[in-house]
Amino acid sequence: MNRAYSSAGIAFRLLSIDRVINATWASNGDDSAMRQALRNGTYDELNVYVQSNFQSGTSTPGIPAGSILLGLGTPAVLRSSCITGGSLEGYNTGYILTHETGHWAGLYHTFQGDTCDGDDYGDFVFDTPQQSVQGRDCPSSQDSCPDSGYTYQSPISLTPWSPQGLAGPDPINNYMDYTNEYCSTTFTPAQGLRIFNVIQLLRNGA
């Protein structure tokens, strides 16, 4: 995960591991109580909860319902079969944790809003092309908004909060799509900037 976040100038250090046996928490039965009981550290310390039996809330294995929710207290929650060395092929080398940590660090899905509308801000990152359909598995290519987006010009005059994004095919290689780990290999420079800014402005000293 440190390799994935190095472009944002961010590194993580493991502080502790706590193991708890609780059948209700393992199935995501009382998420609020679990977090209140187990949470450690301050807002700049990421808590990761690994549960053995929750039902995925999306079409991507290992990601629970509500995974796009952002906030200072937001942890990363994932299924045990999706941790590094887990049993779920295609999702067991750390990608799910990288994705969920992206939400903790202020990133939305690349397909946020599910639309090609010209006034839609999507994921609020200007160098991720607009995307209206979630990526699946590892497609060779995908372009759900072929007529949307801005043509790249140097220097870039767009601000990170401009509607749409750059023109181009869907960013299926982005960690914040729902493609599997064989496709998910990168953050964009503007995503890295957003991560850095969110952590500096909202998490450090919060």
Confidence band for 58, pLDDT divided at 50, 70 and 90:
low
Of 45, 89, 100, 181, catalytic = 100
**Mean pLDDT, rounded, for 116-132:** 89
Is pLDDT above 90 for 149? no
The pTM assigned to this predicted structure is 0.85
Query: What are the tokens at 15?
Result: 């502080």
45 is catalytic: no
Say what the pLDDT of residue 191 is. Answer: 94
Which burial class, exposed, middle or buried, applies to 20 when counting CB atoms under 10 A from its CB (0-12, 13-18, 19+)? exposed
H-type alpha helices, the chain: 2-5, 23-26, 31-38, 95-104, 189-198
